[in-house]
């Protein structure tokens, strides 16, 4: 699975005549165009009612990004996790120029807020492409306005102005002017300016670091970049699809379990103290599932012998994406009280851990005594289990029958459509010749666009065969490339389940027709699609090697390493850049490389723990760093990596024994190559 930050991706455009007006993308309440100049106008966001869909939220710490942002009646609160941590709201917009203001309502002591500009285009380099215009509060009434430029060794200050006797209790406008070769900013009595290299355009984000701030009323007079404009609605549709996917993989899959009640629930509640009852009410009302799990886990720890406490902590863990603690808590709850509702939730946890036999046993046992209102949820779970085992035709029949019986159950209809798509993809044309690695290719893209796309994959497929010399000449399976996220959603929903956390693409061991499949979406442009296909095709290739039991860190590390490769003008595939998904966590990665325990956890993690939401991003980054180090240096190191890929026990032992030295060497190499 490829992790994708949903920030702006500059893509190869469609014809200009097919492009939407920016007002259609942002909405008339946010964008007012100049007459006869649809790409020029005023972009405004108040931040007092909701976060608009064209803002992408990101953060540097492991918790969900949404936990760092809160919309209030007096503005948007951004709360970075602590010293050295950051969070930012990025506009999905490419600008040629921008002139505007942002009102800073509050800024905590020690915290900062910034305009973050990144150059558009694939030619941008780490030394010329990124700028921070930053207000830092250093004292009760003092601070600095700073201009920082990305260099090979991190951000470096290029201009600075002191703020003296500033009243931070009063909302103050933070002003920005940005163009092709110059940027300026002012705040209170301070101003800074400097040269910039933004001739290809730039993106803009609002960032907070080292603490908490409150902002509102962003107003920009701007000219939008034509290449951004052309694929804007495709990206917005992809965002909406992502929201639907997250809804299905949380509330929809667990809607019945969350609504149901345990037998003797009232009796267990009498054991709760008043503060615990209040915490429980707060947790069950919260849509921040990580926080819900945290609150209910504390209650469960205080009441290890209460089935209700264990059950609710387990369901909350499922909602938050933590399958291992979910299974543990639900197993404990079931041992305390044999309740069909708990068993149904436990079957879901087992399915998410790919323990199909255990899931099947629980589903057989849950039939007796289950509340009639939960029969539709039972049918959905049974069908998803059948699909996970590769029985697509059976899953399609069962879902169609269940949807007919319970038409009011919204999720059944969506999953039934997904099963039908997997059995026989609709409106997809099969390519007449074999695709990459000999796979079957189906797509609703125009043939010329598909040919261009597939031609770009050649050098990457050569590298896959280089690292996996035992691959057959032609592999079995299907590549399905969807032009829109709507088709992608329809295809992937049933088999992806809770793993469907991005709209770029995924590898499905049992996908279309019950066979191995790579399902991908072009919504974020051809460059991102190429990276995604390379990543997922590596997984398919590894899967095709019978008996291969490659550790998750090595499998994902190689997938990220290969997909981050870039083809030079001479056609050479090179791996000299930090993968885009780690661009915001370079400093964290360097810190993690100094901690052998973090690396040991990543290297020893199984399928469930490697992908746990709280450590997943860092596990990916560490895995990539170790693979990159071995793949890009001496012949001896390449031989060592080949031994790891082949599953050689002696090589793995050497890795574990020399891990500290390896981490030090990898960190040094990354620094020397200016990748982190």
For 66-79, write each residue's pLDDT tens digit: 778 999 999 999 99
Which position has the higher pLDDT, 500 or 32?
Answer: 32
Which residues have a Cβ under 8 Å from the Cβ of 169 and sit 6 or more positions away?
none
Q: What is the pLDDT of residue 543?
A: 94
CB hemisphere CA count around 103 (13 angstroms) = 15
Q: What is the pLDDT of residue 14?
A: 31
9-23, 96-110, 386-400, 587-601: range with lowest mean pLDDT:
9-23
**CATH architecture, range 268-408:** Alpha Horseshoe (1.25)
506's enclosing H/E stretch is strand 505-508
Q: What is the pLDDT of residue 179?
A: 94
Which residues have a Cβ under 8 Å from the Cβ of 215 and sit 6 or more positions away?
47, 75, 76, 78, 102, 103, 104, 105, 113, 206
Q: What is the pLDDT of residue 611?
A: 79
Q: Are the CB atoms for 516 and 536 separated by under 8 Å?
A: no
Q: What is the pLDDT of residue 235?
A: 64
Dist. CA 265–CA 284, nearest whole Å: 15
The answer on pLDDT for 124 being more than 80 is no
Q: What is the mean pLDDT of residues 394-409?
A: 91
Looking at residue 431, the DSSP 8-state letter turns out to be P
Largest CA distance in the chain: 73
The DSSP-derived string for 210-239 is SSEEEEEEEEEEEEE-HHHHHTHHHHHHHH
Residue spans of the domains in the chain: they are 16-230, 232-260+409-546, 268-408, 549-676
Looking at residue 177, the DSSP 8-state letter turns out to be E
The answer on pLDDT for 95 being more than 50 is yes
The chain-wide mean pLDDT, for the chain, equals: 86
pLDDT band at 267 (very low <50, low <70, confident <90, very high): very high
48-62, 240-254, 414-428: range with lowest mean pLDDT:
240-254
Q: Are the CB atoms for 136 and 166 separated by under 8 Å?
A: no
49-53, 150-154, 182-186: range with lowest mean pLDDT:
150-154
Span 632-676, pLDDT tens digits = 877 888 899 999 998 888 998 999 889 999 999 888 988 888 776
CA distances from 415 to 2, 253, 387, 501, 668 (A): 23, 10, 11, 16, 49
The answer on pLDDT for 182 being more than 50 is yes
The answer on pLDDT for 582 being more than 70 is yes
H helical segments located in 497-604: 526-544, 552-563, 586-592, 596-604
Span 273-296, pLDDT tens digits = 999 999 999 999 887 888 899 999
Dist. CA 260–CA 319, nearest whole Å: 15
pLDDT band at 122 (very low <50, low <70, confident <90, very high): very low
Beta bridge pairs of residue 205? 90, 116
Q: What is the pLDDT of residue 121?
A: 62
Q: What is the pLDDT of residue 487?
A: 78
Q: What is the pLDDT of residue 25?
A: 83
The answer on pLDDT for 237 being more than 70 is no
Which position has the higher pLDDT, 409 or 149?
Answer: 149
pLDDT band at 16 (very low <50, low <70, confident <90, very high): very low
Dist. CA 316–CA 297, nearest whole Å: 8
Residue 38 has a CB neighbour count (10 Å cut-off) of 17
Which position has the higher pLDDT, 104 or 16?
Answer: 104
pTM check: above 0.75: no
Dist. CA 576–CA 153, nearest whole Å: 15
* Helix pair 274-285, 289-302: axis angle to 10 deg: 150
Exposure b/e, 477-514, CB count within 10 A at least 16 = b = bbbbbbbbbbbbbbbbbbbbbbebbbbbbbbbbbbbbb
Q: Are the CB atoms for 152 and 577 separated by under 8 Å?
A: no
Which position has the higher pLDDT, 567 or 236?
Answer: 567
The answer on pLDDT for 236 being more than 60 is yes
CB hemisphere CA count around 365 (13 angstroms) = 17
- Rg over alpha carbons for the chain, rounded to the nearest Å, is 26
Q: Do the strands 69-72 and 75-79 form a parallel or antiparallel pair, or are they unpaired?
A: antiparallel
Q: Do the strands 573-574 and 566-567 form a parallel or antiparallel pair, or are they unpaired?
A: antiparallel
Sign of the alpha-carbon torsion through 625, 631, 637, 638: positive
Q: What is the pLDDT of residue 370?
A: 87
- Residue (of 30, 47, 31, 43) closest to 215 by Cα position: 47
Q: What is the pLDDT of residue 64?
A: 64
The answer on pLDDT for 269 being more than 50 is yes
- Residue (of 376, 267, 358, 258) closest to 317 by Cα position: 258
Percent of the chain at pLDDT > 90 equals 49
Three-class DSSP category at 272: coil
pLDDT band at 56 (very low <50, low <70, confident <90, very high): confident
The answer on pLDDT for 4 being more than 70 is no
Percent of the chain at pLDDT > 70 equals 89
The answer on pLDDT for 560 being more than 80 is yes
Which long-range contacts does 502-505 make (Cβ < 8 Å, 24+ apart)?
A: 502/1, 502/2, 502/3, 502/4, 502/6, 502/242, 503/4, 503/6, 503/238, 503/239, 503/241, 503/242, 503/245, 504/2, 504/4, 504/528, 504/529, 504/532, 505/2, 505/529, 505/532, 505/533, 505/535, 505/536
Q: Are the CB atoms for 117 and 128 separated by under 8 Å?
A: no
Give 589-646 as a 3 state SS string: HHHHCCCHHHHHHHHHCCHHHHCCCCCHHHHHHHHHHHHHHHHCCCHHHHHHHHHHHC
| Reduced DSSP (H G I as helix, E B as strand, rest coil) percent helix, strand, coil of the chain, to 5 | 45, 20, 30
Class of domain 232-260+409-546: alpha beta
The answer on pLDDT for 331 being more than 90 is yes
Which position has the higher pLDDT, 508 or 2?
Answer: 508
Q: What is the CATH number of domain 16-230?
A: 2.60.120.200
Q: Are the CB atoms for 293 and 320 separated by under 8 Å?
A: yes
pLDDT band at 12 (very low <50, low <70, confident <90, very high): very low
* Helix pair 635-645, 458-467: axis angle to 10 deg: 80
pLDDT band at 319 (very low <50, low <70, confident <90, very high): confident
Q: What is the mean pLDDT of residues 366-379?
A: 88
Q: What is the pLDDT of residue 228?
A: 79
User: CA angle 422-424-429, nearest 5°?
Assistant: 115
Sign of the alpha-carbon torsion through 624, 630, 632, 633: positive
Q: What is the pLDDT of residue 62?
A: 64
Q: Are the CB atoms for 37 and 96 separated by under 8 Å?
A: no
The answer on pLDDT for 20 being more than 70 is no
């Amino acid at each position: 699975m490829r992790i994708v930050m949903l920030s702006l991706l500059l893509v190869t455009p469609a014809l200009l005549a097919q492009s939407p007006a920016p007002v259609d993308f942002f909405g008339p309440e946010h964008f007012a165009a100049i007459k006869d100049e649809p790409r020029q106008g005023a972009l405004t966001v108040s931040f007092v009612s909701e976060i608009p869909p064209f803002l992408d939220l990101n953060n540097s710490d492991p918790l969900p990004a949404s936990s760092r942002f809160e919309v209030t009646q007096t503005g948007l609160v951004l709360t970075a996790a602590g010293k050295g941590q950051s969070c930012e709201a990025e506009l999905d917009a490419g600008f040629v120029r921008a002139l505007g203001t942002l009102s800073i309502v509050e800024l905590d002591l020690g915290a900062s807020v910034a305009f973050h500009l990144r150059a558009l285009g694939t030619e941008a380099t780490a030394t010329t492409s990124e700028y921070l215009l930053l207000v830092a509060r250093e004292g009760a009434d003092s601070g600095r306005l700073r201009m920082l430029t990305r260099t090979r060794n991190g951000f470096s200050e290029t201009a600075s102005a002191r703020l003296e006797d500033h009243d931070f209790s009063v909302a103050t406008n933070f002003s920005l002017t940005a163009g092709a070769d110059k940027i300026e900013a002012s705040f209170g009595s301070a101003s800074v300016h400097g040269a910039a290299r933004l001739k290809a355009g730039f993106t803009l984000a609002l960032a907070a670091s080292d603490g908490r701030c409150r902002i509102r009323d962003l107003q920009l007079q701007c000219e939008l970049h034509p290449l951004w404009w052309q694929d804007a609605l495709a990206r917005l549709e992809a965002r909406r699809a992502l929201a639907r996917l997250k809804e299905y993989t949380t509330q929809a899959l667990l809607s019945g379990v969350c609504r149901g009640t345990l037998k003797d629930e009232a009796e267990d509640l009498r054991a709760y103290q008043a503060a615990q009852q209040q915490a429980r009410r707060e947790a069950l009302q919260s849509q921040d599932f990580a926080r819900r799990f945290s609150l209910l886990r504390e209650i469960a720890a205080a009441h290890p012998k209460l089935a209700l406490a264990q059950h609710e902590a387990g369901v909350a863990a499922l909602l938050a994406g933590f399958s291992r603690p979910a299974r543990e808590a639900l197993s404990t709850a079931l041992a305390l009280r044999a309740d069909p509702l708990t068993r149904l939730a436990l079957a879901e946890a087992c399915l998410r851990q790919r323990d199909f036999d255990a899931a099947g046993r629980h589903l057989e046992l849950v039939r007796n005594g289950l509340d009639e209102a939960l029969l539709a949820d039972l049918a959905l779970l049974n069908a998803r289990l059948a699909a996970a085992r590769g029985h697509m035709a059976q899953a399609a029949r069962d879902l169609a029958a269940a949807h007919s019986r319970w038409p009011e159950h919204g999720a059944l209809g969506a999953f039934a459509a997904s099963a039908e798509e997997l059995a026989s993809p609709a409106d997809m044309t099969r390519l007449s010749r074999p695709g990459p690695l000999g796979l079957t290719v189906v797509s609703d893209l125009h043939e010329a666009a598909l040919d261009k796309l597939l031609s770009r994959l050649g050098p990457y497929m050569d590298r896959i065969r280089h690292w996996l010399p035992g691959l057959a000449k032609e592999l079995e399976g299907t590549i399905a490339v969807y032009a829109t996220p709507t088709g992608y959603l329809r295809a992937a929903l049933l088999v992806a389940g809770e793993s469907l956390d991005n709209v770029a693409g995924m590898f499905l061991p049992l996908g279309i027709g019950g066979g191995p499949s790579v399902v991908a979406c072009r919504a974020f442009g051809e460059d991102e699609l190429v990276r995604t296909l390379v990543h997922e095709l590596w997984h398919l290739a590894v899967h095709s090697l019978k008996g291969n039991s490659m550790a998750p860190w090595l499998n994902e590390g190689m997938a990220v390493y290969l997909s981050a490769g870039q083809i030079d003008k001479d056609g050479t595939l090179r791996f000299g850049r930090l993968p885009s998904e780690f661009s915001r966590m370079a400093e964290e990665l360097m810190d993690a490389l100094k901690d052998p325990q973090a690396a040991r956890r990543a290297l020893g993690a199984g399928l469930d723990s490697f992908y746990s939401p709280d450590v997943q991003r860092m596990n990916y980054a560490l895995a990539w760093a170790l693979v990159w180090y071995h793949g890009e240096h001496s012949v001896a190191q390449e031989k060592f990596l080949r031994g790891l890929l082949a599953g050689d026990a002696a090589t793995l032992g050497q890795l574990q024994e020399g891990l500290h030295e390896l981490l030090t060497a990898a960190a040094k190499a990354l620094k020397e190559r200016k990748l982190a």
